[in-house]
Amino acid sequence: MTPLTGYLLVAALLFSIGLGGALTRRNAILVLIGIELMLNAANLNLIAFWRYGPHPEALTGMMFAIFSIAVAAAEAAVGLGLVIQIHRHAHTTDLDQMNRMRG
């Protein structure tokens, strides 16, 4: 197993763990935690490809990962603000109980 394969497998496992968490948990904050894990798995992929790619001196993958970290931070701030507002409105963060818009 080459190093790149190892890192890619770890990232795939991390993504699947995050996806499973986002799909199975009921608490909205835990769903956000799962999404954060998925974003981090993507960042690990970017850095691994940058390190083992043909031109690491071009810094492309590293820059992509840094911008991705910044965007993920913005996403976390807005998402948690929304969760707090929903809790204030519905007095719960349980996603199974938020079925007012069910058709």
Partner 1 sequence: MGHPAFSVSHREQVAPMSFVFYVLAAVTLAGALAAVLLKNTVHCALALTVAFAGLALLYLELDAQFAGFAQILVYIGAVAILIVFAILLTKGSETPKDGVYSKNWLAGLAIAAGVFAVLGWAVLESARVLPGSGGTPTAAPAVTVLQIGNALMGRYVLPLEIVALLLTAALIGAVIVAMHEKEETR
| Interaction residues for partner 1, span 59-78 (CB under 8 A) | 59, 62-63, 65-67, 69-78
CA distance 68 to 82: 21
CA distance 13 to 7: 10
Judged by CB under 8 A, which of 35, 42, 50, 98 binds partner 1?
50
With binding defined as CB under 8 A, does residue 29 bind partner 1?
yes
Which of 31, 30, 46, 36 has its CA nearest to residue 14? 36
Q: How far is the CB of 15 from partner 1 (least distance, A)?
A: 7
With binding defined as CB under 8 A, does residue 34 bind partner 1?
yes
